[in-house]
């Protein structure tokens, strides 16, 4: 997380007495990652956050694998994923490995009758369609088209959608997601050459502090299963917190592309990273300005990583026959490049209006059965 943040009421010293108006103690919770070595937050609750009343249903949501060892390039038509009323039921895993899972979702309804917590993974939600409010136990964030929502593992949340026409591209990461290290100095501040900075990052702005007891259902994801747990107090009962571990939002429209005289490699588009994959943002930008430049990317071999591109909007100049919501998968081990005619078409062009999200993984991705239902199985022939 890029910076320290504090919201609500906190005592002047951590791990000391912090009392309610009636004289009883607030319950302090250390909310941290990587043992005691990663980012953490200290939060203060009206009630103990440990009061479990019942454990109910438990069921698998593990991706069903269609192709475990895949070498074939694919195009998936993402908007063919059917909308579902329920948020969790709408999430359809299309690509997965031991480090991350790539999910498409088209939820129609807000999450109101349960809370959700992913204990396995950080979640990066990209909002392709829709707007609303992400509500969490560490505060709320408004979102709209083009927003990334970074939800660290263990965050308890609900989502309020403004309409029923919503499309999300989701990356679940079993490793913590950070902003790229090369764009930060050793204090953690974003450097001058970074394509975005702290001003562009939106932090939670309001707390919902509920002093309420009863039966509160939290659907907890652990080891690819959903476990339904009933707590005795409202999960959103935090009066204040401070630290580095909390959800935040960043708009792809605030990414400032890095350009040059000749074609720039994909790392200049990097927006997030883990030690297992990176996420890049392809945004409208000026093309290369060398007099003999070819703006379309050169052919390149994905020897060490699978490349996934999620097409959001505009005309993606290196591909033919691509629409919003399409996903291309170019697996490690084989070369790929611009489609026939793309390099020639790009010469002399001054700029691009493309908008896309790219995920490059260092381990091969397995293709799921749900991905095969929306797959163009002849895509690998499109370079002929």
pLDDT band at 92 (very low <50, low <70, confident <90, very high): very high
Residue 212 lies in a domain: yes
Could you report how far apart the first and last alpha carbons of the chain are, in Å?
44
Over residues 218-235, the mean pLDDT reads: 98
Maximum CA extent, the chain: 75
Q: DSSP string covering 328-380, please? A: EEE-TTSEE-PPTTHHHHHTT--EE--EEEEEEESSPPEEEHHHHTTEETTGG
- CB burial of residue 294 (10 Å; 0-12, 13-18, 19+): middle
| CA nearest neighbour of 288 among 305, 265, 306 | 265
What's the pLDDT score for residue 2?
66
Length of the chain: 384
DSSP state of 266: G
Q: Is it the case that residue 294 has pLDDT exceeding 70? A: yes
d(CA 118, CA 134): 15
- Cα angle: 375, vertex 379, 384; to 5 degrees: 170
User: What is the average pLDDT score of the chain?
Assistant: 95
Considering the domain architecture, whether residues 302 and 243 belong to the same structural domain is answered as no
d(CA 32, CA 159): 23
Considering the domain architecture, whether residues 50 and 196 belong to the same structural domain is answered as yes
What's the pLDDT score for residue 302?
79
Residue 178 lies in a domain: yes
Considering the domain architecture, whether residues 296 and 311 belong to the same structural domain is answered as yes
What's the pLDDT score for residue 301?
84
3-state secondary structure of 228: strand
More confident residue, 318 or 117: 117
Considering the domain architecture, whether residues 325 and 230 belong to the same structural domain is answered as no
Give 320-334 as a 3 state SS string. Answer: CCCCCCEEEEECCCC
Considering the domain architecture, whether residues 41 and 152 belong to the same structural domain is answered as yes
Over residues 353-372, the mean pLDDT reads: 97
What's the pLDDT score for residue 317?
80
DSSP-assigned beta bridge partners for residue 125: 149, 170
Q: Is it the case that residue 1 has pLDDT exceeding 60? A: no
Domain limits for position 219: 5-63+82-251
Considering the domain architecture, whether residues 157 and 200 belong to the same structural domain is answered as yes
What's the pLDDT score for residue 106?
98
Q: Which residue is listed with tokens 């909002």?
A: 127
| CA nearest neighbour of 365 among 171, 178, 176 | 171
d(CA 91, CA 245): 25
Q: DSSP string covering 70-123, please? A: ----EEEEGGGSPPBSSHHHH-EEEEE-SSEEEEEE-B-S---S-EEEESS-EE
Q: Is it the case that residue 127 has pLDDT exceeding 70? A: yes
Share of the chain above pLDDT 90, in %: 89
Per-residue pLDDT tens digits for 102-113: 999 999 999 999
C-beta of residue 270 within 8 angstroms of C-beta of residue 360: no
Considering the domain architecture, whether residues 231 and 340 belong to the same structural domain is answered as no
**Overall domain count for the chain:** 2
Q: Could you tell me the CA-to-CA distances from 199 to 250, 257, 280, 293, 357 in Å, in that order?
A: 10, 16, 19, 34, 21
Residue 245 lies in a domain: yes
3-state secondary structure of 199: helix
**Which CATH number fits the domain that encloses residue 92?**
2.60.120.10
What's the pLDDT score for residue 266?
87
Considering the domain architecture, whether residues 209 and 314 belong to the same structural domain is answered as no
Q: Is it the case that residue 272 has pLDDT exceeding 90? A: yes
Query: Which domain-ending residue is among 216, 251, 286?
Result: 251
Over residues 221-232, the mean pLDDT reads: 97
Per-residue pLDDT tens digits for 14-60: 999 999 999 999 999 999 888 888 899 999 999 999 999 999 999 99
Answering whether pTM is above 0.85, one says yes
Considering the domain architecture, whether residues 294 and 165 belong to the same structural domain is answered as no
Residue 194 lies in a domain: yes
Over residues 6-12, the mean pLDDT reads: 97
Over residues 363-370, the mean pLDDT reads: 97
Query: Which domain-ending residue is among 201, 220, 251?
Result: 251
What's the pLDDT score for residue 315?
83
Considering the domain architecture, whether residues 261 and 246 belong to the same structural domain is answered as no
Residue 68 lies in a domain: no
Buried b (16+ CB within 10 A) or exposed e, 160-172: bbeeeebbbbbbb
Residue 72 lies in a domain: no
The CB-side HSE value for 352 (13 A sphere, CA atoms) comes to: 27
Residue 141 lies in a domain: yes
Considering the domain architecture, whether residues 181 and 56 belong to the same structural domain is answered as yes
Residue 367 lies in a domain: yes
Q: Is it the case that residue 136 has pLDDT exceeding 60? A: yes
Query: Which domain-ending residue is among 203, 225, 251?
Result: 251
Over residues 165-176, the mean pLDDT reads: 97
Considering the domain architecture, whether residues 135 and 214 belong to the same structural domain is answered as yes
């Amino acid at each position: 997380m890029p910076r320290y943040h504090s919201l609500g009421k906190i005592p002047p010293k951590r791990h000391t007495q912090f009392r309610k108006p009636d004289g009883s103690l607030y319950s302090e919770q250390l909310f941290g990652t990587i043992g005691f070595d990663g980012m953490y937050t200290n939060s203060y609750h009206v009630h103990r956050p440990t009061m479990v009343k019942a454990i109910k249903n438990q069921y698998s949501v593990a991706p069903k694998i269609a192709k475990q060892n895949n070498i074939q390039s694919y195009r998936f038509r993402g908007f063919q994923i059917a909308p579902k009323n329920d948020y969790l039921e709408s999430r359809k895993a299309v690509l997965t490995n031991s480090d991350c899972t790539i999910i498409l979702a088209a939820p129609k309804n807000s999450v109101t009758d349960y809370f959700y917590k992913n204990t396995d993974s950080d979640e990066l939600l990209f909002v392709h369609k829709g707007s609303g409010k992400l509500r969490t136990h560490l505060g709320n964030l408004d979102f709209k088209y083009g927003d990334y929502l970074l939800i660290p593992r263990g965050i308890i949340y609900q989502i309020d959608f403004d309409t029923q026409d919503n499309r999300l591209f989701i990356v679940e990461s079993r490793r913590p997601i950070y902003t790229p290290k090369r764009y930060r100095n050793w204090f953690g501040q974003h450097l001058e050459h970074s394509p975005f900075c702290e001003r562009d990052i939106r932090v939670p702005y309001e707390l919902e502090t509920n002093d309420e007891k009863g039966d509160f259902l939290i659907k907890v994801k652990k080891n690819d299963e959903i476990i339904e747990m009933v707590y005795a107090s409202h999960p959103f009962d935090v009066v204040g917190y401070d630290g580095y571990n909390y959800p935040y939002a960043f708009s792809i429209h605030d990414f400032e592309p890095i350009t040059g005289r000749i074609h720039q490699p994909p790392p200049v588009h990097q927006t997030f990273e883990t030690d297992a994959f990176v996420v890049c943002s392809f945004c409208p930008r000026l093309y290369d300005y060398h007099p003999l430049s070819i703006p379309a990317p050169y052919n390149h071999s994905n020897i060490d990583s699978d490349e996934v591109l999620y097409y959001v909007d505009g005309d993606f100049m290196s591909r033919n026959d691509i629409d919003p919501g399409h996903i291309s998968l170019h697996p490690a081990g084989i070369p790929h490049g611009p489609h026939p005619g793309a390099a020639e078409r790009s010469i002399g062009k001054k700029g691009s209006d493309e908008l896309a999200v790219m995920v490059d993984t260092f381990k091969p991705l397995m293709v799921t059965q749900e991905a095969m239902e929306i797959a163009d199985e002849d895509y690998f022939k499109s370079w002929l």
